[in-house]
Structure 1
Amino acid sequence: MADIYFVAAEASGDLLAKEVIQVILRDRPHLEVSGIGGQELASIGIASPIDIAPLSVLGFLEGIKAYGDVVKLADAAADAIIASEPKVVVLVDSWGFMLRVAQRVRARAPHVRLVKLIGPQVWATRPGRAKTLAATVDHLLCMHDIEVDYYAPFGLKTTVIGNPALSRGGKGNREEFRRHNGLLEDDKAILVLPGSRRSEIERVAPSLIDAALSVKKSLPATRLFVQPAESVSDLFFQSFPNVRNEFVVLGNGEGRFDAMAGADIVMACSGTVTSEVAIQETPMIVAYKTGWITWALARGLLYKKKHITLLNILNDDQEIAPEFVQTKQDAALIAAQAVRWLKEPGALANQRALQANALLRLQKEETPAAVLAAGAILEEFSEA
């Protein structure tokens, strides 16, 4: 039996769920917390009753292909939740899957309090999702103040917790990373962050790896580092069997913020990690590519912003960090941007200053997101 039940379907949600659970158990150690998740939840002793690996898909067409798995897993998740008889269920990120789980739990156990931890990007894509979510869950814990107005007409209780990435880990130790890796003050280093989903390793990582290699060809003294996410590390090494010939491969451990801070340029697949890089004020180049059907639908019908990186979106949709998306995701273009930064006097310092100023729009000196989320969840538990 469980008092609170978490469901996390992907790597970023798994990490956030872990952080929130740790706060909950610190404050209320007698509570029974169970969950469905991955390696992060397992690391704190929460064993998942189902394997969520099939949910690591990306895009509309990929989602259709995996639809059968999504439905089966939603059914299995609902079964596991109902069997545990929790008072509160927390559904972390992953809009489509969590909506299905919520609907199934609501139909079978209407007394259970449903909390959605991180909502869909209604301010960037389909605002109609606000009505759908409001009809399905009891409480939304969202990242940004701008989201609240979308839900107010539908009466959904909403709590702004901030961006979890901005209160995660703090500033890395640039000097320690560079000392540990034998980098002198004037040495230049590029860090590649190739993504955390299978589709990102297949579609985005090759351009980032090739771009970094191209930079090294132009500027041979440049040191290259890559840090694949643990969730896709096996696929990454299968896809790039010779990566260690040119790159220093970093583990996905506690030193990742040091690596972000220690690099002179980060080449990253778009995602939560870009907010973490932004904290370090390291110049970053963002890449992203999805299936063409997904892209056509997003650009034609769904996505209302010019940019995809949060640092850019929340700064009046201006390109602070350069983006190379879809047709622009070309290794030569990415490499050319990096070479310009490395060759032009003051270019890296200017980019750091631009990103630092833009970061002020994302970052507030306040309680960490995980603490605010835990407090809201415990309030729901007390009222259940």
Structure 2
Amino acid sequence: MSGRPLTVMLVAAEASGDERGAGLARALKRRLGEGVRFVGVGGAQMAAEGVESPFDIAELSVLGLLEGLMAYPKVVRRVKQTVALAAREKPDVAVLIDSWGFTLRVAQQLRRLDPALPLIKYVGPQVWATRPGRAKTLAQSVDHLLSIHAFDAPYFEAEGLPVTFVGNSALSLDFSDARPERLRAEIGAAPDEPILLVLPGSRPAEIKLVLPVFADAVARLKAERPGLHVVIPAAPTVADMVKAQVAGWSLRAHVVEGEAAKLDAMKAATVALACSGTVTTQLAIAGVPMVVAYRIGPVTYALLKHLVRTRFVTLFNIAADAAVAPELIQDDCNGPDLAAELARRLDDDTLRRAQVRAQYAALDKMGRGGADPDEAAAEAVLQVLAGRC
């Protein structure tokens, strides 16, 4: 490999994976400088690090069983396109980030294309919560797993898959450059005026299913609290959809874009209403009390009810084994109930402080303050390569 730069293929199909892929790319560049180049599939953050994606990953952010079936032909086409990219660019290693259905198919086809290509999965399926058989499937498809949960390893190592725990990048999110006063100035909010942060997800299906319910809750809160400021950080994968929906609201809400604006908003927020996902950990790091909500298609929900083995869906709730942040899922995810939970927190500073303390304690159980996950992931990738060269 000394005659040319190390070629690393990074494949991510969702906003959280795009963020992890960009972090891994930066860490590899810090180590290798001009000695590494990147190819693959990703979003705006990975593009900024040199990954030129052949298509928009927003169309792969599929939610739900029926939606997945409808999108299947498109997914198959994009898998073929991704594998064709690998055939053309001949990477030295492929790192497949999260997005179980898409990246598994990519891994299986890459294995057929080049059995000698090292395949690394970054973020494993949550087999401790549901579908334990996926551990065996993954072990048959890739060479190594980079895990973001300390409790992952036994499930996959039992199937013969080597695992390196690298930590969760959300736990090391750096807010040192965040300027909450900048956000307040931009939206015209005084230092003592409350800000409700609304985070409706990063998948198109989440915007369709969740944001209208969030809008109902926000309208109820604003009717009783005219001075409440509403801020919506929009993920790049769905920013146009979010802005289109919010444009039809009867109340004023500020849609902000970009990582810096999101961090500013998180540090400025009084309370947050968040779609379940990586963002809940980020909010907890920022010290924001939140209400977590989620809604999926009824058929998918009926099936998942019988498969999920955990009491909670939010990682810090799972770590604490308690409802540190309330979770309003499916039928409970409705305007009146969301508004009621948010109102309790907006109106009770003692409750907000208690929730933040409990969130911090849960984050400590999850490994907050550990090594930089981007650096750990980069080191693991290079170690895998060293073992294969």
Distance in 1 of aligned mates of 2:247 and 2:202: 18
Task: Compute the displacement of 1:82 (Å).
Answer: 2.1
Which of 217, 220, 236 matches 1:214? 220
Matching residue of 2:62: 57
Counterparts of residues 187-202 of structure 1 (less than 5 Å) = 187-202=193-208
Matching residue of 1:110: 115
Matching residue of 2:367: 363
- 1:243-263 CA-partner distances (Å, limit 9, x unpaired): 484112222331312211211
SS in 2 for 1:220: coil
Which of 146, 155, 158 matches 1:150? 155
SS in 2 for 1:255: helix
Matching residue of 2:255: 249
Matching residue of 1:23: 27
- 1:196-246 CA-partner distances (Å, limit 9, x unpaired): 111011011111122122111112222222222121111122223234841
Matching residue of 1:81: 86
Letter in 1 for 2:89: S
Letter in 2 for 1:371: E
Letter in 2 for 1:161: V
Which of 322, 332, 340 matches 1:328? 332
Distance in 1 of aligned mates of 2:226 and 2:314: 30
SS in 2 for 1:250: strand
Distance in 1 of aligned mates of 2:284 and 2:22: 22
Higher mean displacement: 242-251 or 230-239: 242-251
5+ residue gaps, structure 2, are none
Task: Compute the displacement of 1:173 (Å).
Answer: 4.3
Distance in 1 of aligned mates of 2:240 and 2:331: 28
Matching residue of 2:267: 261
TM-score by length of 2: 0.93
Matching residue of 1:137: 142
Contact 2:79/2:106, CA 8 A, preserved across alignment = yes
Letter in 2 for 1:217: A
Counterparts of residues 155-194 of structure 1 (less than 5 Å) = 155-170=160-175, 172-178=178-184, 181-194=187-200
How many residue pairs match? The answer is: 382
Which of 311, 319, 322 matches 2:316? 311
- 1:262-293 CA-partner distances (Å, limit 9, x unpaired): 11101111111111001012110111100111
Which of 232, 244, 248 matches 1:226? 232
SS in 1 for 2:164: strand
Letter in 2 for 1:6: L
Task: Compute the displacement of 1:40 (Å).
Answer: 1.7
Which of 272, 288, 291 matches 2:294? 288
SS in 1 for 2:342: helix
Distance in 2 of aligned mates of 1:202 and 1:36: 25
Q: How much is the aligned-residue C-alpha RMSD, in angstroms?
A: 1.8
Seen in structure 2, the aligned counterparts of structure 1 residues 52 and 251 have a Cα distance that, compared at 3 Å, is closer
Distance in 1 of aligned mates of 2:377 and 2:317: 25
SS in 2 for 1:154: coil
Letter in 1 for 2:245: S
The answer to whether residue 129 in structure 2 is matched with residue 124 in structure 1 is yes
Distance in 2 of aligned mates of 1:38 and 1:362: 27
Seen in structure 2, the aligned counterparts of structure 1 residues 342 and 14 have a Cα distance that, compared at 3 Å, is closer
Task: Compute the displacement of 1:363 (Å).
Answer: 3.4
Matching residue of 2:350: 346
Contact 1:288/1:324, CA 8 A, preserved across alignment = yes
Letter in 1 for 2:279: V
TM-score by length of 1: 0.94
Contact 2:40/2:82, CA 8 A, preserved across alignment = no
